[in-house]
Amino acid sequence: MDRRSFLKATGSSVVLAPAVFSSQANAQDATIQFAGSVPMTGAASETGLNVKFGYDCAVKFINEKMGGVDIGGKKHRVTLNLFDDASDPARATSLIQKQVDEGVNFFLGSFGSNIVLPTCAITEAAGRIMVQAGGGSDLIFTQGRRRVFGLFPRASRQFASTAAMFKTLNPQPQTVMFIYTNDAFSKVSAEGASKELEAAGYKVLNSIALPAQVSDVTDALGTVRAANPDILVCSTHDATSILIARQMVATNTNVKMLYQTLGPQTAAYVEALGKYANGVVGASYWDENAKYKGSIFGSAKDFAEYYRANFNRPLTYHMASGAGCIVAYVEAMKKVGNVTDRNAIRDALAGLDLETFYGRIKFTSQGDGDPVLLGPMVVQRQKGDLAVVYPTEAATAPTLYPALPWQDRT
Amino acid sequence: MRDPHFPDRQAMLIIQTALNGLVLGGVYSLAAVGFSLIFGALGIVNLTHGIFVICGAYAAMVLFHVFGIDPFLATVPVAIAFFFIGYAYQRGLIQVAISRASLVASLLVTFGVALIMRNLLQLVFSPDVRTITPSYSFSSLTFGSLRIDIVRLIAVLVSIVFLLLMALVLSKTAFGRRIRATAQQPLAANLSGVNVPHVLGQTFGLGAAFAAASGAVLGIVQPFSPSSEDFWTLNAFIVVVLGGVGSPSGALLGGILLGLISSFTAQFIGPSYTNAVMFLVLVIMLLIRPQGLLGSAFGESR
């Protein structure tokens, strides 16, 4: 290269550089940044990862399939900046504080009320917004926060549909017993459920509280056998639910219905219990056969197909609720017409009433999911699959009740 | 009383609770004996202990799923493999750290390795909860109204066999004599022709082997994930403080005590108080008998 052509080349690059730079800057402007932490490791990581895969799926779909989302006449891409909080509330709070300090406006939730509660306190105090599908404890919504939204109804209201399902059972169950983990979510959830059932005329026998990390429930099951309830409700997380069910089978502790809030939905549960998982009842906030449709993803079935085509982790409702958080944000931003006015976006979220692939998303005045529109369906493991058994209009199979004794299950 | 059979039921409940406690304690003992040996003979608080236990569970899981080897039989190959891993780990890393700094360095090294291993396990096996489910894992034995699940019963029997085996190795074999001699007086042992660094490595290997074998047993008894490792380190620590350091009988006593405390607290006070009561007993023990019920198996030399 001679001197002249060298000067030409460098000269033109100096002239062109700012143009390239500014077009990059424009591209950076047209993004929506979501941030937060999820448990990718530690005790809550199984479901934490499910929620994360939901977030990932929504971002992938919006960026790759839709080519970004049109807000205020401009295409916006979505970025996701998630960290691993290792299921540790202390670690989560420092991660979220750091992101608040860096100027993140829109937060997605972690999984577990014990993590969501302290982290949403930080985002709220800093005037940032959090939409989450991982914390149901009443405390998240009843302490006067205005910028925290949950896709699930608060814990004490989550049991309404299950109590209604009990009413449809024949013969009518008489007695119910609770085992719950002594944490912010499970305890409130069990207390709420217990009140609901007593009001409905069932006799609630004594409740058993378990520590967060438990290696043996033989004694608790001894109490269950002595009390012999018709229904045993476990308000517990995945690993504890598996432990309880396994030990129930092994000690031949039979109840007419075993209901476990978390666990029966997961692949690990079926792997651990095999045929004994059949008959176990749980809650599900979303089902791919539901007849909902929205502008992002299309129908519930479309979401399931897109997810399975792009991700390997088995689909559970947590993926859908994770993706639902981002859909709620984006729909609110579309209404406002920009991605910077936090107050307007907050108001748009509060006023959201919109059908999406996840269902009709509508929050109560305190920010939790509408208990009727976003309340859980009741599901039961039947022949290895998860069947919706309640509400009746969405049911894919009748409830099997009373469940067969463990040794007769196939 | 509302229930005319109340006294009978109460008696049966106490027996059932005691039985549960004994079974749980047997498993705790096996999971703690490796920690106890390493702590007693080498003076190292091995914070990688829980990792050995969980690695044993994963190894048994792989052997079960890939080769169909029963987890109880898998204890043997798993233990042999971890003997060599433990030996290499002690000679290659821990001993180097101790000789360059002090015994305290081993705390940092084992803690660091535990963190690394935990994350590696998460990378390889994912953080999801795993279980090993051989065909008999859902069976139970019934005696009147007493019930005990077979898996736990076999686990206890395996524990006892392993603990006896270790007691025999320590008391009857030349290898055991070398371990005891090195633990009591490394210098004197060295002067008598014992290759002290080699014996320390072997002792560590033995501890690791027992930890991994207990993991293979625990894998059938309860669900596990990489994050459950710290529970087993902590448990081993409590068992050792209760029972005394270095001996299989101390581990057995401490384990059974811990099992009974957990079980009775869970039944009669409430399962959420087990940790509180466990640590209360631990504190009281440290105040009145810091050397544990059976004391150190390796005498007063340390």
A184 pLDDT more than 80: no
Of A210-224, A235-249, B35-49, give the lowest mean pLDDT range: A210-224
B127: nearest CA partner in chain A: A41
pLDDT of residue A151: 94
pLDDT of residue B216: 92
Residue A9: pLDDT band (50, 70, 90) is low
Residue B302: pLDDT band (50, 70, 90) is very low
pLDDT of residue B116: 94
Say how far apart CA A174 and CA A187 lie, in whole Å: 22
Chain B residues with CB-CB distance to A44 below 8 A: none
Question: Above pLDDT 70, what percent of chain B?
Answer: 95
| Residue A239 token pair | 């690993």
Please check whether residue A223 touches B, CB under 8 A.
yes
Say how far apart CA A43 and CA A237 lie, in whole Å: 9
Give whichever of A28-32, B3-7, B267-271 has the largest mean pLDDT.
B267-271
Least CB–CB distance from B122: residue in A41, A213, A246 = A41
pLDDT of residue A18: 46
User: Are the beta carbons of A41 and B127 separated by less than 8 Å?
Assistant: yes
Say how far apart CA A102 and CA A104 lie, in whole Å: 6
Residue A6: pLDDT band (50, 70, 90) is low
Please check whether residue B135 touches A, CB under 8 A.
no
- Kindly state whether residue B262 falls inside one of the protein's structural domains: yes
B96 pLDDT more than 70: yes
pLDDT of residue A3: 59
DSSP state of B68: -
Chain B residues with CB-CB distance to A41 below 8 A: 118-119, 122, 127, 226-227
pLDDT of residue B141: 82
Question: B178 vs chain A: nearest CA distance in angstroms?
Answer: 37
User: Are the beta carbons of A211 and B275 separated by less than 8 Å?
Assistant: yes
Structural contact between residues A78 and A32, judged by C-beta atoms closer than 8 angstroms: yes
- Kindly state whether residue B3 falls inside one of the protein's structural domains: no
Domain hosting B262: range is 21-288
- Kindly state whether residue B219 falls inside one of the protein's structural domains: yes
The CATH number of the domain holding residue B274 is 1.10.3470
The ipTM, to two decimals, is 0.74
Least CB–CB distance from A239: residue in B129, B137, B152 = B129
Say how far apart CA B263 and CA A377 lie, in whole Å: 36
Q: Which of B53, B122, B128 to mutate to test the interface with A (most CBs of A within 10 A)?
A: B128
Position of tokens 């009001």? A199
Phi, psi of A21 (to 5 degrees): -60, -45
- Kindly state whether residue B194 falls inside one of the protein's structural domains: yes
Q: What is the pLDDT of residues A22-61, one digit of tens each?
A: 444 444 458 999 999 999 988 888 889 999 999 999 999 9
**Torsion sign over Cα A140, A143, A149, A152:** positive
A12 pLDDT more than 60: no
B264 pLDDT more than 80: yes
- Kindly state whether residue B1 falls inside one of the protein's structural domains: no
User: Are the beta carbons of A249 and B138 separated by less than 8 Å?
Assistant: yes
Strand intervals (E) in chain B: 140-143, 146-149
Please check whether residue A101 touches B, CB under 8 A.
no
A315 vs A24 pLDDT, higher one: A315
Structural contact between residues A224 and A251, judged by C-beta atoms closer than 8 angstroms: no
- Kindly state whether residue B150 falls inside one of the protein's structural domains: yes
Residue A21: pLDDT band (50, 70, 90) is very low
Pairing of strands A148-150, A129-132: parallel
Say how far apart CA A143 and CA A240 lie, in whole Å: 29
Task: With CA atoms as reference, report the closest residue to A299 among A353, A355, A246.
Answer: A355
Please check whether residue A210 touches B, CB under 8 A.
yes
How distant, in Å, are the alpha carbons of A29, A131, A150, A331 from that of A105? 14, 11, 17, 16
Angle at B24 between CA A189 and CA B44, to 5 degrees: 105
- Kindly state whether residue B54 falls inside one of the protein's structural domains: yes
B177 vs B272 pLDDT, higher one: B177
Residue-averaged pLDDT of chain B: 88
Q: What is the pLDDT of residues B128-165, one digit of tens each?
A: 888 898 888 888 888 877 778 888 888 889 888 988 99
Chain B residues with CB-CB distance to A206 below 8 A: none
A258 vs A18 pLDDT, higher one: A258
Say how far apart CA B281 and CA B151 lie, in whole Å: 29
Q: Which domains does chain A have, with CATH numbers?
A: 27-155+288-362 (3.40.50.2300), 157-285+376-408 (3.40.50.2300)
pLDDT of residue A1: 53
- Kindly state whether residue B68 falls inside one of the protein's structural domains: yes
Q: What is the mean pLDDT of residues B82-94?
A: 95
Please check whether residue B291 touches A, CB under 8 A.
no
Least CB–CB distance from B13: residue in A222, A239, A271 = A222
Say how far apart CA B78 and CA B62 lie, in whole Å: 11
| Residue B145 token pair | 């109204």
Angle at A234 between CA A228 and CA A239, to 5 degrees: 125
pLDDT of residue A28: 47
pLDDT of residue A158: 85
pLDDT of residue B153: 87
Position of tokens 């309404």? A160
Position of tokens 């300090």? A101
B276: nearest CA partner in chain A: A211
Chain B residues with CB-CB distance to A213 below 8 A: 228, 231
Please check whether residue A143 touches B, CB under 8 A.
no
pLDDT of residue A10: 55
Say how far apart CA A357 and CA A359 lie, in whole Å: 6
pLDDT of residue A19: 45
Question: Above pLDDT 90, what percent of chain B?
Answer: 41
Say how far apart CA A127 and CA A147 lie, in whole Å: 7
Domain count for chain B: 1
pLDDT of residue A320: 95
Chain A residues with CB-CB distance to B148 below 8 A: 251
